[in-house]
Amino acid sequence: MEQLLRGASEGKAFLIGGTELYQRNRLESLAIESCSSSASLEPIRGRCSEMDAGAVGRMFTEGSLFASGKMIVLEEPDDLSREAREVLLSNLQRMDRNALLLTTDRSRFNTSFYRKLSKATYYYVCYDPFDWDLPKWAHRLSREEGVRLDGGGTTVLQAYASGSLVRLASAVRTLSLYYGPDSSLSRAEVAEVLTGRGDHDIFDLSDSLFGNVRADSLAATWSLLLSGEEPTSMLAFLFAHWQRMRAAREILSSGGGKSEVSKRLGAGKLLTNKLVEHAKRAKDLPIGDVVELFASTDEALKTGEDPFIAISGLIFALTSRPV
């Protein structure tokens, strides 16, 4: 899709769906930049929830005061009325002077309206990456930011991202700013920047929590919060690690070994060793109970409960050894 968007020009229409925001924002920026620079189109943005049929029509029929045509960006076509949808579909057939980019949270284009849109556009759905995709993204984003990572550095970066491309991209940008362009970074150098604040880092917390040690988990949580770590990011990291640890436990219980864990979870050697260790030591609770614990902790954090109290409740539930 990126290659198609680099060639975006008048007469072309694109539909980007999914809830993974990093890819969506990246593709949207690329489309606007391509149309503005190579096709000299003026970017015009509209929220479909605020547009009636007339407003949609004027987007296409009114000329630009500053360019030969417009790059029209419309958010959430679902919010258009039935009449406005018909106007949009009609104008898709005659876009000689304009280009169009539609963005939506939808991941499936299975309604009559979206089937028609997908037939008239180049479309792409942005999904959260699988674990085995993250090393490729880490390498790609690092190359774009001018930094090089060894295998250990990539492992730390992948663990820090917790499956989030937004968090991954932010971390790579931070490394680039800290060390400068054309830097070659080791595991220790990556960890120093991403997790080196305070007396503990997020890996200390996951080691103690999934090592079933309550006191160390509480101490690491307190240290991380004092050093300014975002509570919801901490929770997201722990949940992502628990999911991988649970998957590793199922592989091991069915007779698989470390190599099978590494292969099926797309984990490097260091992460595989951690997952296997935690799978053996973590408190074994029903999956539904653990999911509910994380969900209730997330709700508590987002509704104003003290972060240490909220995360401590999770720690007490997930650990049985005081020390």
How high is the pLDDT of residue 56? 93
Residues 6+ apart with CB under 8 A from 186: 150, 152, 153
How high is the pLDDT of residue 4? 80
Q: What angle do CA 290, 295, 299 make, to 5 degrees?
A: 150
Residues 6+ apart with CB under 8 A from 267: 131, 244, 261, 275
Comparing 218 with 226, the larger pLDDT belongs to 218
CA dist 308 to 197, 280, 286, 319, Å? Answer: 17, 27, 24, 16
pTM above 0.75, yes or no: no
Which CATH code, of 1.10.10.2840, 3.20.20.70, 1.20.272.10, 1.10.240.10, is assigned to 200-323? 1.20.272.10
Give the span between the Cα atoms of 218 and 212, in whole angstroms: 11
DSSP letter for each residue of 195-263: H-SSS--HHHHHHHHTTTBHHHHHHHHHHHHHTT--HHHHHHHHHHHHHHHHHHHHHHHTT--HHHHHH
pLDDT at 185 over 70: yes
**What's the average model confidence in pLDDT over 184-204?**
77
**What's the average model confidence in pLDDT over 145-170?**
85
The structural domains of the chain, with segments of one domain joined by +, span 2-125, 128-195, 200-323
How high is the pLDDT of residue 39? 60
Residue 136 amino acid letter: K
**What's the average model confidence in pLDDT over 182-195?**
83
Give the span between the Cα atoms of 250 and 37, in whole angstroms: 52
pLDDT at 186 over 80: yes
What is the topology classification, in CATH, of domain 128-195? Helicase, Ruva Protein; domain 3 (1.10.8)
How high is the pLDDT of residue 10? 77
How high is the pLDDT of residue 323? 53
pLDDT at 200 over 80: no
Give the span between the Cα atoms of 287 and 130, in whole angstroms: 20
pLDDT at 196 over 80: no
pLDDT at 88 over 60: yes
For the ranges 8-12, 130-134, 146-150, the maximum mean pLDDT occurs at: 146-150
Just give the CATH number of 2-125: 3.40.50.300
Tens-digit pLDDT profile for residues 265-303: 887 788 888 899 999 999 889 999 999 999 999 999 998
Tens-digit pLDDT profile for residues 6-57: 777 778 889 999 988 888 888 988 888 887 776 688 888 899 999 999 999 9
